[in-house]
Amino acid sequence: MKEVTELVAAWGGSESATAAALLHDTVEDCPPTNFAEIEQDFGSEVVSIVREMTDDKSVPKAERKKLQIVNAAKKSEAACLIKLADKSSNVAAIGSSPPTDWSAELKREYVAWARTVVAPLPYKPNIRTASL
């Protein structure tokens, strides 16, 4: 999460985008945290971005992965930054410290899927000139 937040800030993300980057997996991964709590603590703009980034865990994993691709073109600028930072961070981690039970094929599949997710994003910062 720290790396995702740092990337969003380095790529020119607003204060709200940076806060949402830190919180983007919270509802999915840290129950019983919910959107109402995030809105109360961080405001409506941040919770709106977090909602955009949150997968519906009641949907099967394969469908959630497909929905990330389908919904990518509808993302706000802040959500695009977070999605790019999140996928960049995940791909870097797969290269440097992959899960021990992941085969080379599974790693390649994840990288290909991540590229498919970010390809339709409507906003892409000039990340080549940004630095941490």
Catalytic residue chosen out of the listed positions 3, 6, 25, 28: 28
Contacts of residue 42, Cβ cutoff 8 Å, sequence gap at least 6: 19, 23
Q: How many CB atoms lie within 10 A of CB 58?
A: 6
Q: Is 29 considered catalytic here?
A: yes
Q: Which of 29, 37, 41, 63 is catalytic?
A: 29
Overall size of the chain counted in residues: 132
Burial pattern 85-104, b for ≥16 Cβ within 10 A else e, equals: bbbbbebeebeeeeeeeeee
Q: Are 46 and 23 in contact (CB under 8 A)?
A: yes
Closest of 115, 36, 61 to residue 83, by C-alpha: 115
Residue 28 annotated as catalytic: yes
Q: Which residues are marked as active site?
A: 28-29
